[in-house]
Structure 1
Amino acid sequence: MPIYGSTSWRPEALDAASSYVGLLHAEAESALEYMVKQTLENSVIVTKRHATHRVLLNALMHYKRHVYGLIPELKLIPTRRELERSPNAAVEIWDTHARSHYDRLLSSNHGAGVKYVEKLLHPLGIVVDRERFNKVASSSNVQEIADVDDIGSTDLQELVSLRGVAMHANLSAVATRLSRSNPTEVGARGQAAANFTVKLAMKIAKSAW
Structure 2
Amino acid sequence: VKYMEKLFHPLGVIVNEKSFRRYEGDGIRKVTSIRNVGTTELMELAGLRGVAMHGNSKSAHTRLAITTPHDVARRGEMAVSCMQQIATLLAKQAWKCGR
TM-score class, shorter-chain normalisation, is 0.5 to 0.7
Q: Which residue pairs with 2:68 in the alignment?
A: 182
Q: Which residue pairs with 1:134 in the alignment?
A: 21
d(CA) in 2 for partners of 1:155 and 1:149? 16
d(CA) in 2 for partners of 1:147 and 1:190? 22
Q: Which residue pairs with 1:150 in the alignment?
A: 36
Task: Specify whether residues 196 and 134 from structure 1 end up closer, same or farther in structure 2 by C-alpha distance, changes over 3 A only.
Answer: same
Unmatched segments (≥5 aa) in structure 1: 1-112
- Aligned pairs (5 A) from 1:33-52: none
Unmatched segments (≥5 aa) in structure 2: none
Task: Specify whether residues 141 and 160 from structure 1 end up closer, same or farther in structure 2 by C-alpha distance, changes over 3 A only.
Answer: closer
Task: Give 3-state SS (helix, strand or coil) of 1:150's partner.
Answer: coil
Alignment of 1:118 with 2:16, yes or no, is: no
Task: Pick the structure with more helix per residue.
Answer: 1
Q: Which residue pairs with 1:204 in the alignment?
A: 90
Q: Which residue pairs with 2:49 in the alignment?
A: 160
Sequence identity of aligned pairs in percent? 22
Hey, which bits of structure 1, 4+ residues long, moved more than 6 A? Answer: none
Task: Give 3-state SS (helix, strand or coil) of 1:136's partner.
Answer: coil
d(CA) in 1 for partners of 2:60 and 2:80? 25
TM-score, L = length of structure 1: 0.36
d(CA) in 1 for partners of 2:90 and 2:32? 7
d(CA) in 1 for partners of 2:29 and 2:21? 9
Q: Which residue pairs with 1:42 in the alignment?
A: none
1:141 CA displacement: 7.5
Q: Larger Cα Rg: Structure 1 or Structure 2?
A: 1
CA contact under 8 A between 2:9 and 2:23: conserved in structure 1?
no
